[in-house]
Chain A
Amino acid sequence: MDTMLNVAAKESDIGQATKPVLELENLRVSYYTDAGRAIALDGVDLTLMAGEKLGLVGESGSGKSTMALAMMRMIKPPGRIEEGRVIVDDTDLTALSEQDMLRARLSKISYIPQGAMNSLNPVLRVGAQLMDAMKAHVPDMPKDEMQAHCIRSLESVDLKANVFKMFPHELSGGMKQRVCIAIGILLKPKVIIADEPTSALDVVTQRQVMETIDRVQKQIGATVILIGHDMGLMAQFVDKVAVMYTGRFMEISPVRDMFLKPAHPYAQALIRSLPNLENKGVFQGIPGIAPSLLSLPGGCAFHPRCPFVMDICREQRPPFETFQENRQVACYLYTEKARS
């Protein structure tokens, strides 16, 4: 296959050094519920270079999926993007018309869904579900060329060409997830968001699927955001880890630093809560519960649960700042250090 893909990879190698592929600027999403306004994504900034792999972790409701949906511009009422920009490859997605946004999905930014089991239309053949995406995006391409392209895409995720003619119910869970990945990479997007792509799979299949994502990501040189709870999987796969809490980034660090010496108290607690070989059987939770998005505590949202809480944490929201090379954190423990 892979002349086309290799070219893309080379291009991305060049691009890697020069300019970011994905930029989020102060992205803010709220859901207007009967109980009030819930700020699900509270001013998020993020910059990723071509080929970078970011792991996005956080508790349920911390805004991971909202961020993914906001980047795809798929936030549905009662939610809406209130502020901020999503810039992919020099295009501001938030400024596109509805029609142009349809085009941008899959070709600039694509999404590999969580529930692969149900993400394929049960009454259409796999091939038809790849072809309709092709027809929506490159309507002028001859049919046989489209089909050849779809089959190449299936083969690049280790599926046989005959999967093209099969129905989803004839595939295993891992195969369905691969089909979703094949759809996700069909138009060689710059950014791929994988929202817990392995959550419904057994560990063996999980690993195979992750390896597939890893490989195709390298081939097309895409930037990947991997959303998930599985820290082990993250450790093996991503370059950087972003820890989210109440719709804000708490820390973004290279994966080694995050696991060995996490900076933010929440990240520290999160890493401590992982089971490891030394203290078998002793699980350490994080005291307290995550606050409701309807009434966040003032200042740093983590301060009621934080063992290092200071007065300023209650009053002001800490800025999300670089405190070491490649590491950003939103915590006054580090701004003080940085200042002194």
Chain B
Amino acid sequence: MYLTRREILAAFLGTPFALAACSDNTSREFPDGEIVGTNVNLGHILRENRNFEVPAGNWQTVKVAIIGAGIAGLSAGWKFAREGFNDFVLLELEKEIGGTSQSSVGNPVGYPWGAHYLPVPFPENAELVSLLDEMSLTEGRRASGEILIREEFLCRDPEERVFYKGRWYDGLYLHVGESDEDKRQIDQFQKGIDRWVSWRGNDGKRAFAVPVANCSTDAQATALDKISFAEWLRQLDFTSERLLWYCDYACRDDYGLKLDQTSAWAGLFYFCSRVRKSGDESQAFITFPEGNGRFVNHFLEKVREKVRRDHAVVSIIPNEKGVDVVCLNENELRGFHCEKVIFASPIFTAPYVIRGFNENPAFAAGEFQHNAWFVANLFLKDRPKPRFAKDFPLSWDNVLYESPSLGYVNATHQKGIDYGATVWTYYYPMCAEEKGRTKLFNYEWRELADVCLTDLARAHPDIYELTTRIDIMRWGHAMISPRPDFIWSGVREKAMRPYRNIHFAHTDLSGIPLFEEAFYHGLRAAGEIMR
């Protein structure tokens, strides 16, 4: 498939913009860079349907194998290590661990490849709080029990800004040029959120809480999952363009889905779950230059000897004694005789690797749909000059109102480095595209880098001169998609039950892609096994 630059830009950034961008001179200097990450094509190996005969000398015995060193798998390992249980291995397909929380080391700061913050948890999320204590991120408790996070780890102000019609403004919701009707609607929307924050179900639980396992199962709340967030807003007569944009941005940012693709329950979850009580602000963000890579590295310190990188699990065979796990490592097959397995990989992959799953499925793994993203890290030798004196200054999160991308996060922000070289992480969810995943993998580095620079150039015309390098990671299966009628359809409950000594643990099982959910399921699975 060959596409012209104009067609590619039109596909990613919209036709009118592509037409304008293509009239630019394209001969300007283009930075270096490459596609990084994911090089193992597991799907390909599995489709070859090889006979995975492990040489006799390559078998080991271990009590538990954790499959997948993303946050869920690492959390399970962390829990084991904490409880003094050491007979386990942690198998990771890639050379880098951390899944979508992975990061890179850089100068002057590291930078993320995906997840990059954690809202301050409520004190009742005791295990997560104990992790934060262990990492010395906390400095005590308020009299009310709320945990106090050390200042240098709380997202530094200014947190967000938005670029609209040539200028930067404070905040994410666009206030400038708001009509009275817009004001009334955002106010009304806020009241709706507040109502759900203080709502309690017939089981006494909040409608939206982290982890999702603590959410009320009262039908009044879960019925929201039947419709899209767009439909919910429509039913309540919300029409304000900037309010709809704000909600759409929230869905794209947290779920990689558009407003009409997101379940209303999930949409409200974003707005309600991090608000303590009605009228409060949302919980502050804990963040690091390298994003959630900080957590990955902390977990890694605790389980370093257990981690086996570049171990592609190709076959999981449940039997009478337990489970056999077969991996491909540097073209050699290795096997583990285990008693238990924690399957901490995307749930949709289960039928491909678990022997006998397809013949007798415990749940519909295909319901766990993922979406595609690409993430670019831009290495800047200096910051762009503000175009207008009144432009709101460079913030942590910098969002372009008129773009299908999510904008960029400035890695040096949290370290207080306000001058000179920096790294920007640019996020692009493929939610507007049909067959986004196929498209994503059809494009070369140069084309994706062009999309990224062309998009950013509308706010920063000097971006071409300032960017020395762009590295891009393509996430074919970035995160679970909470589309309507998934979270409360019942499939998650089924998948949470062990399947013949295989315990599933992944944020997929919450239906919401969050660090806290992955952490919860990792600990839950580890706890079930140790019990």
The yes or no verdict on A and B being binding partners is no
Contact residues of B with A, CB < 8 Å?
Answer: none
